[in-house]
Amino acid sequence: MAKLNILEFPDPRLRTVARPVAAVDDEVRRLIDDMLETMYAAPGVGLAATQVDVHRRVLVVDVTQDQNQPLAFVNPEILEREGAVEAEEGCLSVPGIFDTLTSRSSRIVVRALDRDGKRFEMEADGLLAICIQHEMDHLEGKLFVDYLSDLKRTRIRKKLEKERRENGTASGRRERSSVPVI
């Protein structure tokens, strides 16, 4: 396994729409394993292939306390959604930035292929539902900051650019561990 580099806002590659996976082969399984290693190391509770500059419809999630129940979704589709939930989110591609979104569905039913290429359906609520929706946005080239005002998004971009200028990275500040970083 290998740890991959995570793209950061406003990198234009994060705006790429990912292509469907034709077959879940060894290459895709290797990507899943590398993405899980990268997510756990970050640390985060979810990661989309887009964030590691691979533009295929693959995402990984683990919202468990012990971080020992990895889930992989290939070609995920949301079949049902209901309710609305307000929750604070962070993103590995927007380091150190947290904000409250009101646009997530509280319960979803998602269909995808697993690591073995087998189709499955899963009902999700709570953090898992938020996480899957956040990651599926990444596959469309969309970031959680896109739900915020233009003014806020511009401020965030400037803040990250300033941090990178001063420290060479904007990745050093993920202090609010109570907020999921996906």
Residues contributing to the site for Ni ion (CB under 5 A): 91, 182
Catalytic annotation present for 89:
no
Tell me which of 8, 89, 135, 163 is the catalytic residue: 135
Structure tokens at 129: 């539902």
Of the two residues 108 and 118, which places its CB atom closer to Ni ion in the complex?
108
| Cα–Cα distance, 135 to 83 (Å, whole number) | 19
The neighbouring-strand residues paired with 104 are: 85
Of the two residues 27 and 88, which places its CB atom closer to Ni ion in the complex?
88
Q: How far is the CB of 145 from Ni ion (least distance, A)?
A: 10
Q: How far is the CB of 26 from Ni ion (least distance, A)?
A: 26
Structure tokens at 67: 């971080």
Q: How far is the CB of 46 from Ni ion (least distance, A)?
A: 7
Q: How far is the CB of 160 from Ni ion (least distance, A)?
A: 14
| Ramachandran angles phi, psi of 132, nearest 5° | -65, -40
Number of C-beta neighbours around residue 70 at 10 A: 16
Residue nearest to Ni ion (CB): 91
Of the two residues 46 and 113, which places its CB atom closer to Ni ion in the complex?
46
Reduced to 3 states, what is the DSSP secondary structure of residue 26? helix
Reduced to 3 states, what is the DSSP secondary structure of residue 1? coil
Distances in Å between the Cα of 56 and the Cα atoms of 46, 78, 128, 138, 155 are 16, 17, 21, 11, 30
Of the two residues 24 and 132, which places its CB atom closer to Ni ion in the complex?
132
| Ramachandran angles phi, psi of 81, nearest 5° | -145, 145
| Cα–Cα distance, 182 to 11 (Å, whole number) | 17
Catalytic residues: 135
